[in-house]
Structure 1
Amino acid sequence: MSVYTPLSPAQLATVLEQFGFQLRDYHAASHGIENSTFLIDARDRHDQPSPLVLTVFESLDHAALAPYLSLLEQLAEQHLPVPAPLPDANGNHQITVAEKPAVLMPRLPGQHDFAVDTDRCQQVGALLARLHASNTEQLQPLPSERARLHDFTHHLDKLPAADQDSAAALLHDWLAHPAGTTLIHGDLFRDNLLWHDGQISALLDFYNACLDHPEYDLAVALNDWCVDANGQGVAERERALLSAYRDQGRSVDDGRLCEALAVAALRFWLSRLAGPVSDHSEGLGSKDPEEFARIYRQRLEALAV
């Protein structure tokens, strides 16, 4: 992820001491645009290697962060490939770094790999099925994606004039129906997975997670994993992802999915238009809004058929 809050080696060493680790090396992660993330090589109390990740949150406060950390703990206990937060010497999962909330987690094995093929799409579909079947009885209340979408209606004027009316109508229709009750990730782009020996080894970044329709989560993933450079859906990849999802016993409402594909594309087009990255950040920086403009127009055209 891009870095907005640079930290010195001395600052990082002080942070790690609270958890019983010694700093050996670190570098800023290069994927994503929302928080400041550091990949750390450390040693534990027994002088054993301990790969870690420190995330400094740029927008969430301590109270807003708490339900996400509880969620990660619960999903890790259910054997999903997610990193659970580590407690400091006082048992706290949250600390303050540079006057901002921060969390230390184990760095799960694997690397980012942005290659896409049908096998990887199958793995993504199967993973989403596992996530959607997870036990959510103990969840703390999570922010609603519907609330985020409603907030984005205030940015419709950032769209080209020719797209504003159709976008407003689409959001109005989607928001007029109740949200679903399935736990969704909400952000399963390629930069939120790690791979090891061709297999998914970690699912990252749950800070858009919420309860909603599973078709919306599928739509977010399909719009990243299963489109070509022109924003057109790649049928072979789509079939692979959805078949693997259904093979795990999950059902898909095709009509809702078709609408969700357009809504999800519009959501990320608007988010990229509304939230450019600070000029002072390090890393990838803002992602191209036109990528999702192309996807949105293709999905809207399919919805009209």
Structure 2
Amino acid sequence: MSVYTPLDPTQMARLLAPFGYSLVDYRAASHGIENSTFLIDATDRQGRATALVLTVFESLDSDSVHPYLHLLAALAADPHLPVPGPLEDDQGQWQITVAGKPAVLMPRLPGEHDFAVDNNRCSQVGALLARLHQCDTQPLLPLADERQRLLSLRDQLSQLPADQQAPARTLLDAWQASPTGHTLIHGDLFRDNLLWQDGRISALLDFYNACLDHPEYDLAVTLNDWCVTADGKPIAEREQALLEAYRANGGTFDRARLQQALAVAALRFWLSRLAGPVSEHSEGQGSKDPEEFARIFGWRMQGLEGA
């Protein structure tokens, strides 16, 4: 788990009250490294058991959080997307303040984290991404730019092995120089951002890296987690299952851009993991192993050079 802003039961009960809930119990979420997340058991005003999630944002300010909550509300209204939307307090507000930080309370959708991967699950993920990528972006508020995130990670290039720095910089410069896409992408569809129930996807979580860019970049982030071995080698059958389901559900992609995006996405998460956790004062996981994505980056660069 990762908790940077611990809350005691009195604090938790107090923040639930304006939403009409009474605290029964709560615990820190077992996955995620960027924000403080709590899984809450509560009762509503009619005494009915209710499962909730509280997210306290550790690196986003109030203004930055607002577009994401607007996005979640829009996606939650889509019957084809299992996305939880923000709850309103008694003042009609989605965003609240916890320990001086922006926070949001949401319903906890059914299902559990399950990190098993097979071709069927990859197909489900591909179909889900295709539906997400076809969402209308016109009503959305401006979201953070992934290209700016990549720019902010350039300082971490000096932490790479000496022989990797020049090719990594060349790759990143080429991607940054290309036009930005206009598709809504999740940007972080790792296995810990899905819930499963009876072998089916029951919830798509954590849209705080969402932005507008090329669908190939979202596919690349996803393929690099779902379709590689422990040493980072691509698994062709899983990739094929995911991409075929993506196309079958209306998604389209450019193969050459995808090859480039696979290497860029691997580099992005290598660099962000080298940057470390968002806080030195955390309970639990805090950060993940950069070497995982160093290995994936090596394989993806081989694939790009051989394309």
User: TM-score range, shorter-chain basis?
Assistant: over 0.9
**Local SS of the residue matching 1:243:** helix
Post-superposition CA distance 1:247-281 (Å, at most 9, x none): 01221100000000000000000000012354531
Match for 1:153: what amino acid? R
In the alignment, structure 2 segments of 5+ residues that lack a partner are none
1:94 maps to a residue whose letter is Q
Partner amino acid, structure 2, of 1:55: T
1:12 corresponds in structure 2 to 12
Which amino acid in 2 is paired with 1:18? P
CA contact under 8 A between 1:232 and 1:295: conserved in structure 2?
A: yes
The code of the aligned residue for 2:45 comes to: R
Counterpart in 1 of 2:301? Answer: 300
Task: Please give the secondary structure, in 2, of the residue aligned with 1:112.
Answer: coil
Q: CA deviation at 1:39?
A: 0.2
Matched, 1:269 2:238: no
Per-residue CA distance 1:73-116 (angstroms, 9 max, x = gap): 11111221111000000000011111111100000000000000
- Percent identity, aligned pairs only, is 68
The ranges of structure 1 where at least 4 consecutive aligned residues each deviate by more than 4 angstroms after the TM superposition are none
C-alpha displacement of 1:136: 1.2
**Residue in 1 that maps onto 2:110:** 109
In structure 1, what residue type is equivalent to 2:67?
P
1:30 is matched by which residue type in structure 2?
S
Aligned match of 2:74: 74
Match for 2:54: what amino acid? L
- Partner Cα distance (1:176, 1:278) in 2: 32
* Cα-to-partner distance string for 1:39-75 (whole Å, 9 max, x where unaligned): 0000000000110001111111111000000000111
CA contact (8 A) 2:131 2:250 kept: no
Name 1:197's counterpart in structure 2. 198
Normalising by the residue count of structure 1, what TM-score does the alignment of the two structures yield? 0.98
| CA RMSD, Structure 1 to Structure 2 (Å) | 0.9
- Normalised by the size of structure 2, how large is the TM-score? 0.98
Q: Which amino acid aligns with 2:246?
A: Y
Structure 1 residue matching 2:153: 3-state secondary structure: helix
Provide the rounded CA distance (Å) in 1 between the counterparts of 2:150 and 2:158.
Answer: 14
Report if the CA contact (8 A) 2:34-2:277 is conserved: no
Look up the match of 2:29: 29
In the alignment of these two chains, the number of paired residues is 305
Aligned residue in 2 for 1:291: 292
What is the CA distance between 1:285 and its match in structure 2?
Answer: 2.5
Gapped regions of structure 1 (runs ≥ 5): none
Cα deviation, residue 232, structure 1? 0.5
Identify if the C-alpha distance between structure 1 residues 240 and 201 changes in structure 2 by more than 3 Å, giving closer, same or farther. same
